[in-house]
Structure 1
Amino acid sequence: MRHPFRIALFAVAFAAAALGIARPAAAAQTAPEFDGIEAWQNSKPLTMKQLRGKVVLIDFWTYSCINCLRTLPHVTRWYDQYKDKGLVVIGVHSPEFPFEKQEANVREAIARYHITYPVAQDNDLATWDAWDNKYWPAEYLVDQRGNVVAHHYGEGNYAEMENAIRTLLGLPRLADGKAEMDKDAPDFAQLGSPEMYFGSDRSENNASPEGARTGTRDFTAPSRLDLNRFALVGRWEIGRENASLVGASGEIRLHFKAKKVHMVASANDPVTLEVLVDGKPQAPVTVQKSMLYTLFDGDGYKDHVLTIKVPKANFHAFTFTFG
């Protein structure tokens, strides 16, 4: 379990990850070794010492993080395009939630997102700490001598990172018109909602008058739900990481400003959610596996009220994220 300082730091990190922060390393720094890796996927165990002579891209990610998932297509493309020219990509999977530590869940995510490069399961965040990392996603570029020469926090700046990779590989830089643009990223200037957590450890957006402290009780929604607030309706148990429906049925109501709404959720048995936006029915969403689900995909960054109707108990909500 992470101590309170780290929890607060990670909450700040998600905001920074959405914006994207990139810069070259201030001075040559020897890349730290992988530490405390629980398991390796797509590879036998590797060390940075073994990889001397290669250009190495380290990608810190976790499979329920929407910022990481929007970055993955770029990372996987770089691997496919440059692996035969001397690039090694290592995904360091550093979990946020306990279910992300389960090897079967990680293997399934690797298959779902077509990741073929090595992935190290950093379940206790030992490698995260060794690299003094603070964000999901984060990329670190290591040269053939084992020095960290550039790093990038968050989404975006894909052209800059690709050109840095090409330079180390002895390839010409891509012209501006040919460099990959970040076509799928949200417009963060218009996105009006932050990530929201259901668990008591990081709950800041729960508007139910019964409060966000741990425990089981009956919840109600206020008559008016302010922007960037959500409310539970029905009997729920609040844990440190999530909210679990214990009543026969329940609801979640959310006031947001975004183009897309995602939820990290799971259920003991498959449960089909009824989703309404401004009272209008949307496509139902069936939840069981512990992962990120898309609840709404709109046509602009607009102010909406979303209602989720949950028809049975043992549904677990972790976070809302937006795009």
Structure 2
Amino acid sequence: MSSSTSSDPDRRTWLKAVAAGLIPVALGGALAVPQARQALARVLQPTPPLDGLRLSGPWLNSPPLDAAALRGKVVVVCFWTYSCINSLRVLPYLRAWQARYRDRGLVVIGVHTPEFRFERDPANVRQSVRDLDVGFPVVLDGDRRIWSAFGNNAWPAFHFFGADGRLYGHVDGEGGYDASERRIQALLSQTPGPVVASPLSTISGSGPEAAADWDSLGSGETYIGYGQADAFASPGGFRRDVEHLYRAPDRLALNRWRLTGGWTAGEEFAVGAVAGRIAHRFHARDLHMVLAPDTPERPVRYRVRIDGAPPGADHGWDVAPDGSGVVREPRMHQLVRQSRPVADRTFEIEFLDPGVRAYVFTFG
């Protein structure tokens, strides 16, 4: 039961400031609540809004940027993370907008806010930025300080700023790209310079960056770590944080998944032993998994089967037609892209070496 005394909001403000690391816990109550409130507002809700970009780092492809450095520029701030399929599918649009409108005054900024722990490692992000041909400025937001300052709640999310530094709207998730480009054109048209061409860009992605087949998408994101897992079908459920020999159910229903063989189920991921397998009964054109080697120096070989056979023409970007592939670094792997009309299929992946970390299934 909550109290109605006037001191409760002040107390909550002080506690939030301590929790955010803005007031050292060792100071106890030495700082007055108004000071806590001012510190919280200054750091978590900076003014002007683009100064929120100061809260994290380091920066890739650019020196640090803030409101002063971006004065007079139209800015698109996109929150993304490199192992997220939804984030990967927006990269063709960000690259195209940057290339087309950069000389007219547009700055595209990627705020890389991680979902998984391995995405907090600057070396992993630097490598992914190179591999994904991301040429626009990227700031690493490992503690979600920029995310909080912007009030963000989705990957991906677009925030559109005019040359005056004011926010002119945001879009959560994929889609609406034509409207987003028209918004960019409208904001650029308010700045000095040549007339902005009105035709929209023709943009398409390839491989994992291709748009999802939304009309055939009948399966949703499925986490493997027990912290967010659901639809788990192996008999007996999870054995948390201990190695366990899992067995297959008699039948795998649509949008259910299972482990077989030796696995240690953790909160964020499951770690496989030799010959560990994962299966998922799904309905989608594309199937992806976020996978990582438990030890960076030890790649993990795998073999994919669809309905018990090698994938052939239905193999994904990271799989050969015979179903073979290797996990070398922590990232999203595209394992299936159906070339025929989409149907319910049973996907299975067998790991031929120990030490894989399996995080999540995603579809497209």
Contact 2:287 2:337 in 1 (8 A): yes
Q: CA deviation at 1:227?
A: 0.8
Residue 22 of structure 1 aligns with which residue? none
Decide which structure has the larger Cα Rg and report it: 2
Contact 2:48 2:67 in 1 (8 A): no
Contact 1:62 1:95 in 2 (8 A): yes
The aligned amino acid for 1:116 is G
Contact 2:247 2:261 in 1 (8 A): yes
Residue 139 of structure 2 aligns with which residue? 120
Q: C-alpha separation between the residues in 2 aligned to 1:30 and 1:88?
A: 17
Q: C-alpha separation between the residues in 2 aligned to 1:321 and 1:106?
A: 20
Q: CA deviation at 1:51?
A: 1.1
Q: CA deviation at 1:213?
A: 5.0
**Is it true that 1:221 corresponds to 2:240 in the alignment?**
no
Q: Paired residue for 1:298, among 305, 322, 338? A: 338
Residue 180 of structure 1 aligns with which residue? 202
Q: Which runs of 5+ in 1 are unaligned?
A: 1-28
Residue 162 of structure 2 aligns with which residue? 143
Contact 1:266 1:287 in 2 (8 A): yes
Residue 287 of structure 1 aligns with which residue? 327
Residue 11 of structure 2 aligns with which residue? none
Q: Which runs of 5+ in 2 are unaligned?
A: 1-46, 190-194, 312-319
SS of equivalent residue, structure 1 residue 202:
coil
The aligned amino acid for 1:307 is E
**Is it true that 1:74 corresponds to 2:93 in the alignment?**
yes
- RMSD of the alignment, in Å? 1.7
Residue 360 of structure 2 aligns with which residue? 319
Contact 2:93 2:203 in 1 (8 A): no
If asked which structure has higher relative contact order (CA below 8 Å, sep 6+), I would say 1
- C-alpha offsets along residues 151-191 of structure 1, whole Å, 9 cap, x if unaligned? 1111121111111111111144634xx55366732232320
The aligned amino acid for 1:317 is A
- C-alpha offsets along residues 99-138 of structure 1, whole Å, 9 cap, x if unaligned? 0011111111111111111100000001001111000000
The aligned amino acid for 1:68 is S
Runs of 4+ in 1 over 6 A off after TM superposition: none
**Is it true that 1:49 corresponds to 2:68 in the alignment?**
yes
Q: CA deviation at 1:35?
A: 4.6
Q: CA deviation at 1:50?
A: 2.5
Q: C-alpha separation between the residues in 1 aligned to 2:67 and 2:360?
A: 34
Contact 2:246 2:259 in 1 (8 A): yes
The aligned amino acid for 1:156 is G
Alignment TM-score, normalising by the size of structure 1: 0.86
Contact 2:213 2:285 in 1 (8 A): no
The aligned amino acid for 1:126 is R
Q: C-alpha separation between the residues in 2 aligned to 1:126 and 1:264?
A: 25
**Is it true that 1:159 corresponds to 2:159 in the alignment?**
no
Alignment TM-score, normalising by the size of structure 2: 0.77
Q: C-alpha separation between the residues in 1 aligned to 2:226 and 2:292?
A: 18
Aligned pairs (5 A) from 1:197-216 = 197-212=223-238, 214-216=240-242
Contact 2:222 2:362 in 1 (8 A): yes
Contact 1:196 1:204 in 2 (8 A): yes
Residue 30 of structure 2 aligns with which residue? none
Contact 1:55 1:144 in 2 (8 A): yes
SS of equivalent residue, structure 1 residue 151:
strand
Q: 1:35 to 1:229 in 2, by over 3 A?
A: farther
Q: 1:316 to 1:148 in 2, by over 3 A?
A: same
Q: C-alpha separation between the residues in 2 aligned to 1:108 and 1:158?
A: 27
**Is it true that 1:307 corresponds to 2:355 in the alignment?**
no
The aligned amino acid for 1:104 is A
Residue 24 of structure 1 aligns with which residue? none
The aligned amino acid for 2:283 is K
SS of equivalent residue, structure 1 residue 218:
strand
- Identity over aligned pairs, percent: 38
The aligned amino acid for 1:258 is A
The aligned amino acid for 1:50 is A
Contact 2:245 2:263 in 1 (8 A): yes
**Is it true that 1:89 corresponds to 2:89 in the alignment?**
no
SS of equivalent residue, structure 1 residue 114:
coil
